[in-house]
Amino acid sequence: MLPNTGKLAGCTVFITGASRGIGKAIALKAAKDGANIVIAAKTAQAHPKLPGTIYTAAEEIKAAGGKALPCIVDVRDEEQISSAVEKAVEKFGGIDILVNNASAISLTNTLETPTKKVDLMMNVNTRGTYLTSKACIPYLKKSKVAHILNLSPPLNLNPLWFKQHCAYTIAKYGMSMCVLGMAEEFKGEIAVNALWPKTAIHTAAMDMLGGSGVESQCRKVDIMADAAYCIFKKPKSFTGNFIIDENILKEEGIKNFDVYAVTPGHPLLPDFFLDEQPAMVTKKADSYGAVPELKEEKTQPPPKARSGAVEETFRIVKDSLSDDIVKATQAVYQFELSGEDGGTWFLDLKSKGGNVGYGEPSDQADVVMSMSTDDFVKMFSGKLKPTMAFMSGKLKIKGNMALAIKLEKLMNQMNSKL
């Protein structure tokens, strides 16, 4: 862990989405130095599924040694942003650091993303970041510290990162393009950088996306807080960078990254937008700005001896079904499997007692999953994590993502039998 130096004592840090997760972790790290934290977030009353409000975060910040100003801010509302900035300047005398952390996510493809979700992601991620930056810049210009930090990824133009969740990628890349533009526009006055994690980070949002058991593949929010702290200590001349948490901490001399793991020694899930996964090796682009070409992984056809592996997997799944599982799941899954022993299969967890079989289900499927037979068997036997398969493009999902996540939880229960 990175020790505090006291450098942020008396600094005012304006953080969007600071009531929980990474935003709150950055706030607490700065608070230990004696910083003033403006908690600009939506949650004023406790959320049924997500812990924390702006007021509980404020109490934690005070306990850590900082001063806190909780402000109800939906970054889609320009007036709420302006009001929070005015209150911050009135209470603390200025703004030294802005962290654009508020973000909305929907990992759905083009046809499966409702317009309401598209608007939410564009308005929170890109527009919200732009407007909050615009409101804070006049005060940041007067600061000796003067940092804007957007929690957004490097601008990776590999098509893989667009094809599964185009709207989300556009919205996150909009935040990164703010870094590109504003770093140049305010060079010498304000440092503008982006920070992104190398691995998945365990937050309440990650639990909702990845389902139970995902935390063992994640690092704690502390790694992002320490990385952000490193950036805030840098001079204004350190600008226009797309920083990966682990890299900057290595530069600071951190060698033991196990302290950041939720489960030390457990394999970690790489985060989105970073081409470091075996299933997505890219050829180096020959010229600047060229879109990297994806190497197709040559999948070996499964040997003849395994031709009944899919059928056997479904037989074991069928034997594992119960009324309780059906009651808890309430979904019909369709599998489009390519390769030997492939074709269309279904898993009905809606009808009494549940059912599996070859062909299409009698009721319309809630979720359609497409993959190779080999990956299907690996997935149901626990050798391939569905989250990883989806992120690396081996698994395509159409339909209800929440129900797809329910199936992953079910697989975790069945793995011991497969």
Residues marked as catalytic: 168
Which has the closest alpha carbon to 57: 107, 16, 115?
16
What are phi and psi for residue 114, nearest 5 degrees? -65, 150
What token pair was written down for 161?
């990162």
Task: Put residue 330 in one of left, alpha, beta given phi > 0 → left and psi -120 to 50 → alpha.
Answer: left
Region class of 283: left (phi > 0), else alpha (psi between -120 and 50), else beta: beta
Residues in the chain: 418
Q: Which residues neighbour 376 within 8 Å (Cβ) at sequence distance 6 or greater?
A: 310, 313, 335, 337
Q: What stretch of H or E contains 348?
A: strand 343-349
DSSP state of 300: P
The helix (H) or strand (E) run that includes residue 140 is helix 128-140
Element (H, E) at 58: helix 54-64
- Give me the amino acid identity at 110: T
